[in-house]
Structure 1
Amino acid sequence: MYGIGEVGVKAVKSEQDYMRRSMQLNQTPKFDLTSHEESNSLIRRHESEKSRGSTFLKTQVDDSSLCSTSSICSAPICRQFWRAGNYDDRLNSKPASQNGTGYLRIHPKFLHSNATSHKWVFGAVAELLDNSVDEIQNGATFVIVDKILNPRNGTTALLIQDDGGGMDPEAMRRCLSFGFSDKKSKTAIGQYGNGFKTSSMRLGADVVVFSRCQKNRTLTQSVGLLSYTYLMQTRQDRIVVPMVSNTFEINRCNIHVDYQFNANSGTWNTLHNEQQLKNNLSILLQWSPVATEAELLKQCDDIGPHGTKIIVYNLWHNDDGKMELDFESDPEAYLSILYLQVPEKFSILLRGRVVEYHNIAADLKFPEFIMYRPQNVEGSVLTTIGFLKEAPAVNIHGFNVYHKNRLILPFWHVVTYSDSRGRGVVGVLEANFIEPTHNKQEFEKTPVFQKLETRLKEMTQEYWDYHCGLI
């Protein structure tokens, strides 16, 4: 268990120092299923099912090179995210028209610029986790965050997998399109339908999504690809999102499934016509980490009857050639406070270990509970404020402001470090009456937000004046 001071230091400094510190990454060890099997062993405690180890793993490599040498599924020519937006499609001839619902279009420059809203890569990881947490209402019991190796070139990739409701083919198309959200729940963290695109493209140049979904006694399996590498290297003037989907029926009388199996081809029945399937698979198999349709579909084997697996590959590097997403640092402290409450039945598994939930408010000494009623807004907000247990030995202060259970502002400084009046004072509140920005890393600077900031500053100083003698 982390002390609150340690959590505060790790969560805040990892964000504040991210852009100026050099990310350290050791050579990726040979992945022998140990980490992923540990994750699955913990999952088995929830569902008591047979282990389904991932096969998306290969051998030891050094992926710090800034250039790719592979001609198939190669890494982007530029490996630095902030330089990858220098996109030139002038040399591209007009692409052939792609017919069918398996294709989605938008200009590639928007794909990159849309992702620049994430200044911090861990914020992008959190955005992907939000989708899994939203799936708790659909029965999700876990989300896995792990690193694996791309079998095509052995480079490190990011895996995020959950056992939620999954996506049917239409939901997959919506996931890969822009500006669409089908999350109607008032408690859902994601609302804009944009988080998957911004976060995945901020972490790496390419992402492949596998999903299974049970709906109306039908089990569907869909695979989608969003590849900035493909768009850059083929100089496309529009985004083409290929998808492949398969379906089979569930027997209404029992729980086992009946596959609509084609004995001649040995494959599932597809939802595409022959030409659509050929076109989509051609792009998927050339630019995704797998080389055959059988390997592509096999990636869903460890999902089970429902759930989603996201693999982000060709991860971005910094100017020193090191990956921006630092797997060797410890994001556990940040993830432990990312959500205000986590159901006991739900677990976040980071590199094979369950992340232990950390309640900041429960760790404060001399706590006070102050009700805040924003003007012209219905309802009220209970704010917990107190001293860190380590105060006054630590120079940490600020408010942890959540929105719909999700941490938006960690240790937000409403008073300055130079002002000793407030040192060590920490608060926690859930402010659902203000709206976060679409990257969920800050709030919209509205008059309601500014009034909240003023009131929290007053709270800090009032609390300090009454309680500073206790420490």
Structure 2
Amino acid sequence: MRSGAAAEVIDLCSDDDEESVPVASTSALACRSAPFSAHDVSPCELPDVKPLLYPLHPPGCGALVPVKDEEPVPVPVPLAAEPSEPTRALLPPPRLCRQFWKSGEYTVARRNPDADAPGGRNRLRINPKFLHSNATSHKWAFGAIAELLDNAIDEVNNGATFVRVNKFTNPRDGSPSLLIQDDGGGMDPEALRCCMSFGFSDKQSDAFIGQYGNGFKTSTMRLGADVIVLTQNQKNWTPTRSIGLLSYTFLMETGCDDVLVPTVDYQYDLTTASYTQLLRHNQKLFSSNLAILLKWSPFATEAELIKQFDDIGDHGTKIIVFNLWFNDDGDMELDFNSDKKDVLITGAQKKVKASKREKAEMQNYVANRLRYSLRAYASILYLRVPDNFRIILRGRDVDSHNVVNDLMYRECVLYKPQIAGLTELSIITTIGFVKGAPDTDVQGFNVYHKNRLITPFWKVANNSYGKGRGVVGILEANFIKPTHDKQDFEKSVLYQRLETRLKEMTYEY
């Protein structure tokens, strides 16, 4: 900082709600007119907030003692009495642009003090700008939501029976946020830190959809600038509650040069029949992380934070994505208002040129609605929804839609891809005319991978002369690999052969 220059100091180590902070202006929803400068924010010392990439279990810290003689029952954390309506401190006006594709500008205003510590220069460091650039792999907001639904579907192996997608109102400023919650096994403190780190995945079985360990970060950062995760777990017979905050806003406002993820944990204590703070390092670090959570999350007090576990039950995970992104027109990308039972993409609904009757049929068909309606997309997202599992969108179950039932004159075509070194595979493709063909301008193949839709209505045939119009097919291709955003396949030789064969199927049919 220049000598004698005044600068705003953001105190991240205090949970004092009475401090004076600037009031957010209406311009907070638009991009900054002036470029961001390192002098806009003074360095904030956070010596106790350790980067996520440090060892997660230092020797002698955070050990949990298994208790097996009785099954504990979670109860709320006993907290000191607080005012019925606590005074809320508004956050400073955000420095980042609220439009996703323009929010990648990032200037480091402070150097992490741990960088010069012994071994600090030898460890991997991740610039916060990577959070944004990594999220750009998702071109489509619904593709990002699908990643989070995949994680919930994978939890079926741990007893999950539902995933809930809903609007959540940020209690700090009243803005809409996205809530995704499941009743799976939840995560213990170690698992939460792995989830919020980069490139870690323990999903190596074919039973899981996710494989790369990157989906949570790319999807949440694509939907909004910030995400808070609350999870409850009963691993080793000792219930734990863990909370983590991945906040691009926090990193931007403080100008950090490393990705810092504040986390706090609570452990059920049988002697007091309540949850108590689980100190993985020391009380000072816990208090520092909690202060950051209360300053930058939607919850201003620890009581509000803990109350979010009331509807999670004995185990499960709640994800709240807030400070949702805006589109290039300055409108919020996710539309919660036009349809109270759905989530739409603002401005994505396209008008169909056809007669009045044909227009209504085409507009309502799933191939057209899935581009802007989350309910339509979720209805065909999985080839087979697990038994006794529900996808609940804004309080109403999503009914699975089998496109095969829409086809007339169905045929099953056998395809045997030639894969060197592997046993011969047989892929069955169901193909037919969609109802209303050839007047209905719909065509293509729904290609699934491990039960998950990758390419909806993939147009492999050129229909400039009417060829392929109204022809739709469905197949599951586990022999080719999807891209990381699960919206396309890697352009391998096997992929090219499949594309050629599907084109031939269309013309032959």
TM-score (norm. length: structure 1): 0.77
Residue 417 (structure 1) shift: 3.3
Q: Give CA deviations for 1:154-181 in whole Å, capped at 9, x if unaligned.
A: 1110000000111111110010000110
* 1:344-383 alignment, distance < 5 Å: 344-376=387-419, 378-383=424-429
> Does structure 2 conserve the Cα–Cα contact (< 8 Å) formed by 1:398 and 1:414?
yes
> Does structure 1 conserve the Cα–Cα contact (< 8 Å) formed by 2:227 and 2:246?
yes
**Residues in 2 aligned to 1:438 and 1:385: alpha-carbon distance in whole angstroms:** 28
Residue 416 (structure 1) shift: 2.1
**Residues in 1 aligned to 2:231 and 2:392: alpha-carbon distance in whole angstroms:** 19
**Residues in 2 aligned to 1:282 and 1:97: alpha-carbon distance in whole angstroms:** 25
**Residues in 1 aligned to 2:158 and 2:186: alpha-carbon distance in whole angstroms:** 9
**Counterpart AA for 2:216:** F
**Residues in 2 aligned to 1:105 and 1:71: alpha-carbon distance in whole angstroms:** 31
* 1:57-456 alignment, distance < 5 Å: 72=91, 75=94, 77-90=96-109, 94=113, 106-248=126-268, 260=269, 267-327=276-336, 330-376=373-419, 378-456=424-502
**Residues in 2 aligned to 1:406 and 1:440: alpha-carbon distance in whole angstroms:** 9
**Residues in 2 aligned to 1:266 and 1:450: alpha-carbon distance in whole angstroms:** 56
> Does structure 2 conserve the Cα–Cα contact (< 8 Å) formed by 1:157 and 1:312?
yes
Q: Give CA deviations for 1:249-269 in whole Å, capped at 9, x if unaligned.
A: xxxxxxxxxxx1787x98455
**Residues in 2 aligned to 1:76 and 1:185: alpha-carbon distance in whole angstroms:** 42
Matched position secondary structure for 2:284: helix
* CA 1:298–1:427: 2 relative to 1, 3 Å: same
**Counterpart AA for 1:454:** T
**Residues in 2 aligned to 1:312 and 1:97: alpha-carbon distance in whole angstroms:** 34
Q: Give CA deviations for 1:286-326 in whole Å, capped at 9, x if unaligned.
A: 11111122221221111101111000000001122211123
Q: Give CA deviations for 1:387-424 in whole Å, capped at 9, x if unaligned.
A: 10221221110000000111000000001231311110
**Residues in 2 aligned to 1:214 and 1:126: alpha-carbon distance in whole angstroms:** 27
> Identity percentage over the alignment?
61
Q: Give CA deviations for 1:447-466 in whole Å, capped at 9, x if unaligned.
A: 00000000000000001xxx
* CA 1:230–1:97: 2 relative to 1, 3 Å: farther
Q: Give CA deviations for 1:186-230 in whole Å, capped at 9, x if unaligned.
A: 121100000000000000000000011111211111101100001
**Residues in 2 aligned to 1:105 and 1:293: alpha-carbon distance in whole angstroms:** 30
Q: Give CA deviations for 1:77-100 in whole Å, capped at 9, x if unaligned.
A: 31011111111115667578899x
> Relative contact order, CA 8 A, sep 6+: which one is greater?
1
> Does structure 2 conserve the Cα–Cα contact (< 8 Å) formed by 1:225 and 1:242?
yes
**Residues in 2 aligned to 1:296 and 1:114: alpha-carbon distance in whole angstroms:** 29
Q: How many residues align?
A: 386
**Counterpart AA for 1:171:** A
Cα RMSD, aligned residues only: 2.6
**Residues in 2 aligned to 1:375 and 1:141: alpha-carbon distance in whole angstroms:** 38
Q: Give CA deviations for 1:102-158 in whole Å, capped at 9, x if unaligned.
A: xx9621011110000000101111111110011111111110111111111111100
Matched position secondary structure for 1:216: helix
Matched position secondary structure for 1:452: helix
**Residues in 2 aligned to 1:373 and 1:419: alpha-carbon distance in whole angstroms:** 29
> Does structure 2 conserve the Cα–Cα contact (< 8 Å) formed by 1:66 and 1:321?
no
> Does structure 1 conserve the Cα–Cα contact (< 8 Å) formed by 2:163 and 2:392?
yes
**Residues in 1 aligned to 2:474 and 2:275: alpha-carbon distance in whole angstroms:** 56
**Residues in 2 aligned to 1:176 and 1:287: alpha-carbon distance in whole angstroms:** 17
Structure 1: runs of 5 or more not aligned: 1-60, 249-259, 464-471
